[in-house]
Amino acid sequence: MFDLATIEKFEHIATPFYYYDMELLGRTVDTIARLSERYGVSVHYAVKANVERRILETINIRGIGADCVSGNEVLRALECGFPAERTVFAGVGKSDREIYDAMSAGIEAFNCESLHEIYVIDAMARSYGMRARVAVRINPNIDAHTHKYVTTGLFENKFGIARHEFNALVELLGRCTNIDFTGLHFHIGSQITEVSDVYALEARRAAEIVSWFEGRGLVVANVDFGGGLGVDYGNPDGNDVAPFEDWLRTLTSNFPRREGQQLHIEPGRSVVAQCGSLISRVLFVKSGETKNFLILDAGMNDLIRPALYGAYHRIENLSSRFRKGFSEMQAYDVVGPVCESSDVWGQGRILPMSVRGDLMAIRSAGAYGQVMASRYNLRDFAPAVFSDDLDSAPRYVDYFNPGR
């Protein structure tokens, strides 16, 4: 991902920043677009993973739609060129204003997560003299075998409508005057790595549920399997594009699609994770009682995944590639500057001997990185820098050597 010319350019850029490899993003998006056509599955990108304008524009021009979870995400998607008829709006708690704005924009569908929400959308559509398209998210009670914070398809989770409400749902949909039911929606979790087992189960469970509803007179025109495809955080260069084909093959071969039925997926992480890295500088090297610390200028406010989920991100010393000859390896606890003990990038990481000023890359940071950043400790937001536009990045100022 980083050739020497790119790293040399990084020397002139203020850190920390998010670096996006636009060649890899383009290749990833092309792969999804080509495979989704081959398998006859339509794709909505889960905007929540990364909302950078350039990234959304790159995805949008490949004919992919947008899956949004807030009114502002809907507005951002529309601003970045996603047509309303390819934009869906999901989430357990939509405010009246968000519903009104999305309905006025004429979005493709609301993915509704409770009977109460369907009732409110129908009533609002009626009072404004509009119609709304609605898909219903079902809780299929499937274990995605992933971190508990990103598991969404179990009965204990707040997402989707539970089995005991299915009869009431059919009855409610029959009474709604201003909504058009478009289909069923499932999403069981994120960073799913047991692709063939977990998604086969999801597709078969979805098939049972779809036929239950069709047996009661509802036309399930769209079946959305959600997102969740995992990426390889351990080996981002070896597996830079996620296994989209395994995913699509598993879903389509385990779901008996009826004539005229459209299948959908909504990947987020697998589209954008590997093209992004958080680039940082070593501020200080410190020898603790039992270990060595590398203190970076990027912290948990920039990328919260390690602190929040204990997530692993590969760390690389980019500057060491310029050092001639043998570079001694050393174990470091790599940490950030934020005043929290959980502000740790990785413990006991074996890295080339590192010195103040070295550029470090925290890999696979394109998804749920920049979007989850905060200004905790009143730190600045790390900006986005794109591989095809390095020259417009914020310049590094060397305060230590004012003469230079």
Query: Which residues contribute to the site for ligand LLP (CB under 6 A)?
Result: 46, 49, 67, 90, 150, 152, 187, 190-191, 226-229, 266-270, 305, 309, 368
Query: Which of 78-89 are b and which e, b meaning 16 or more Cβ less than 10 Å from the residue's Cβ?
Result: bebebeeebbbb
Nearer to ligand LLP, 160 or 337 (CB): 160
Nearer to ligand LLP, 268 or 276 (CB): 268
Q: CB of 243: closest distance to ligand LLP in angstroms?
A: 13
Nearer to ligand LLP, 90 or 210 (CB): 90
HSE, CB side, 13 Å, CA atoms: give it for residue 133. Answer: 17
Q: Do residues 169 and 179 lie in contact, with contact meaning Cβ atoms separated by under 8 Å?
A: no
Q: CB of 105: closest distance to ligand LLP in angstroms?
A: 19
Q: CB of 144: closest distance to ligand LLP in angstroms?
A: 9
Nearer to ligand LLP, 191 or 354 (CB): 191
Beta bridge partners of 240: none
Q: Pick from 8, 16, 9, 106: which is nearest to 370 by CA?
A: 16
Q: CB of 391: closest distance to ligand LLP in angstroms?
A: 31
Q: CB of 322: closest distance to ligand LLP in angstroms?
A: 32
HSE, CB side, 13 Å, CA atoms: give it for residue 349. Answer: 23
Q: Is the omega angle on the peptide bond into residue 83 within 30 degrees of 0, that is, cis?
A: no
Nearer to ligand LLP, 67 or 333 (CB): 67
Nearer to ligand LLP, 78 or 304 (CB): 304
Q: CB of 268: closest distance to ligand LLP in angstroms?
A: 3
Residue 380 DSSP label: P
Q: Pick from 56, 88, 54, 13: which is nearest to 264 by CA?
A: 88
Distance CA 45, CA 48 (A): 9
- Whole-Å CA distances, 288 to 293, 295, 332, 347, 350: 7, 12, 10, 13, 16
Distance CA 334, CA 31 (A): 35
Nearer to ligand LLP, 227 or 337 (CB): 227
Nearer to ligand LLP, 39 or 396 (CB): 39
Quote the strand ranges of 21-155, DSSP E: 41-46, 65-68, 87-89, 109-112, 132-137
Q: CB of 285: closest distance to ligand LLP in angstroms?
A: 29
Beta bridge partners of 352: 329
Q: CB of 90: closest distance to ligand LLP in angstroms?
A: 5
